[in-house]
Amino acid sequence: MRMVLFKLPITCLLYGVNTDGIRHQILFLLTNPLGQGSATLLMIVIFHTMKAVLAMICTTSCSDHPEFVKNDFYITGESYAGHYVPALASRVHKGNKDNKGIIINLKGFAIGNGMTNPIIQYSAYTQYAFDMKLITKEDQDNINKLLRPCEDATKICESGGDRESCSLAFDHCEDIVNRILVIAGNINFFDIRKTCEGSLCYDFSNVETLLNEKIVRDALGVGELKFDICSKVVYEAMHQDWMRNLEVDIPSLLEDGIKVLIYAGEFDLICNWLGNSNWVHAIEWSGQNQFATSKTLQFSVDGLEAGLLKSYGPLSFLKVNAAGHMVPMDQPKVALQMLVKWMQGKLNETSI
């Protein structure tokens, strides 16, 4: 594996990967979210600034390494990447169409268990929780009374609301999730098959130890900045962005043939597959009806059912079996095959 580290303000890696004799496309990684972890304090709270900063990183990296410019370029991310992945894809594509700067050979983007269209995804929480037997029908009906305040506040935020209105929308909508969690008990909201251990429901201490080693910090070029697995400062600063709908740029990307893959592990509550499926079906583009009526296929890996796939044209949605919020951690082989086949344009060939 060849790896090149760029000492940019934001930690990123550019490398090629060889697995099973296959040379995969270049991967470009950013810390999530900006300003958290090993990244410097580029505290991004305005969506348009996020686009510009991410685009700058891409073009800077391509300028420094022109040998990669002609390679197929894919953007992938999980969780809050449901916000910044479509933002970056939109900015890169616009730059290409306007013939500004280096032309980046953008082919597609993928989001795993992401938060992209909050107003649709928050409305799916109670149905998912009921379907997974976390709450009763009576609980669902009671919690659904919180939907209207959530939706109304989110619409104000999306229409250009300030920090205060967007934070209010976040608080209203999070009431829905919190009510479910109170009733469900000590479940891991990233994987409802498990109990919650620690403030983040997973033990990330080994990751923090590794990334705070001096040799690692020196290699990443972050100086004495301490890695924090979940910064409260950044979390609060992102409230203005959290409730905004980042699906708005996706229709034009689909119309121009940019491939889009949305995938979700079936046991994640916090960015559950149902909410993700709902917003994907709601995308208004020329293939919306054909996508909605397309047949749901069984996605298989090594002859075993690994998920359910629905696709039409450049748009694909995959519900991944036996996985929670972090599909690559729970189902690494499935995740790799999914991405490889998708980039090769052969995702449907592994489905029956």
* Residues with catalytic roles: 79, 268, 325
What CA–CA distance (Å, rounded) separates 250 from 86? 7
- Are the C-beta atoms of 24 and 340 separated by less than 8 Å? yes
Looking at beta carbons, which pairs linking 189-197 to residues 24 or more positions away fall under 8 Å? 189/268, 189/269, 189/270, 190/268, 190/269, 190/270, 190/324, 190/325, 190/326, 191/265, 191/267, 191/268, 191/324, 191/325, 191/330, 192/132, 192/134, 192/267, 192/268, 192/269, 192/324, 193/267, 193/324, 194/324
What CA–CA distance (Å, rounded) separates 265 from 285? 25
Peptide linkage before 33 cis (omega within 30 of 0): yes
- CA torsion sign for 128, 273, 80, 98 is negative
What CA–CA distance (Å, rounded) separates 215 from 78? 27
